[in-house]
Amino acid sequence: VIDATSLGWGSRVKGFIACFAIGCLCSLLGSCLLWVPKKGLMLFAVFYTLGNIASIGSTLFLMGPMKQLKRMFEPTRLIATIVMLLCLVLTLCSAFWWRKKGLALLFCILQFFALAWYSISFIPFAR
């Protein structure tokens, strides 16, 4: 089963590039939609969050899902992972359920810093 479902290195790199490009495109689209009257901030929050999720998901192609999950929840980056995931969820909650534009924008800003902190945690000695 493992041999039948594993991807070759070329396919992994292509999957990473495609998923990362989709993430960047969603984030860019969200930034463009920020200026749409009435719904712009909500659209920005949604597309920015989806872009970040796709960008994080792109690394699944390089490491594999289980290795990625294990590394995400290592003690050295556990807090960064929890804060990042919490910011992703709270951004979507504030956009869809609470319908608070200011809160959605705040969580987008926190999401940016949380993702930066999470990304830096993968660089040796950067912590």
Residues 6+ apart with CB under 8 A from 80: 114, 117, 118, 121
Question: pLDDT, tens digit, for every residue of 43-73?
Answer: 999 999 999 999 999 988 888 888 888 989 9
Residues 6+ apart with CB under 8 A from 122: 71, 77
**Counting every residue, how long is the chain?**
127
Which one, of 89, 84, 62, lies nearest residue 73 by Cα? 84
Give the H or E element holding residue 63: helix 40-63
Q: Do 20 and 52 contact (CB within 8 A), yes or no?
A: no
What does pTM read for this prediction?
Answer: 0.84
Q: Which residues of the chain have pLDDT under 70?
A: 1-5, 126-127
